[in-house]
């Protein structure tokens, strides 16, 4: 019986060798590209974090300003209400005096 070597169809095929493809990037280039992309993404995230923090601080300042404006408006509304009350009291007084004197109100 004759000895035959196992048939390996890939062994003699030059296209089936395990050398890196000269056209595509090798593993170290891919790794470097991925690391550069991650660094760029991290930089973007840091920038976005700064923008978000600034906007949050702006929002806090705006809310504080609104609270101040509301307090000032409440004070003005109280003053307006007090002024309206004084006007009503003075009108009643005028009407009372005018009625005693026989005058008519034009108010």
Per-residue model confidence as pLDDT tens digits over 48-67: 999 999 999 999 999 999 99
Task: Return the exposure string of 53-72: e unless at least 16 CB atoms fall within 10 Å of the residue's CB, then b.
Answer: eeeeeeeeeeeeeeeeeeee
Q: What is the mean pLDDT of residues 69-77?
A: 98
In whole angstroms, give the CA distance from residue 107 to residue 34.
Answer: 83
Q: Is the pLDDT of residue 69 over 90?
A: yes
User: Domain segments of the chain: what residues?
Assistant: 27-101
Concatenated DSSP letters of 6-68: PP-TTTT-GGG--PPPSSS--HHHHHHHHHHHHHHHHHHHHHHHHHHHHHHHHHHHHHHHHHH
Q: What is the pTM of this model?
A: 0.53
Q: What pLDDT shows up at residue 57?
A: 98
């Amino acid at each position: 019986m004759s000895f035959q070597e196992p048939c390996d169809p890939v062994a003699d095929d030059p296209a089936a060798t395990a050398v890196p493809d000269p056209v595509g990037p090798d593993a170290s280039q891919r790794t470097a590209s991925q690391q550069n992309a991650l660094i760029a993404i991290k930089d973007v995230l840091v920038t976005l974090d700064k923008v978000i923090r600034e906007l949050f601080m702006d929002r806090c300042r705006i809310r504080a300003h609104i609270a101040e404006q509301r307090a000032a408006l409440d004070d003005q509304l109280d003053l307006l209400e007090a002024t309206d009350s004084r006007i009503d009291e003075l009108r009643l007084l005028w009407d009372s005096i005018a009625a005693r004197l026989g005058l008519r109100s034009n108010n």
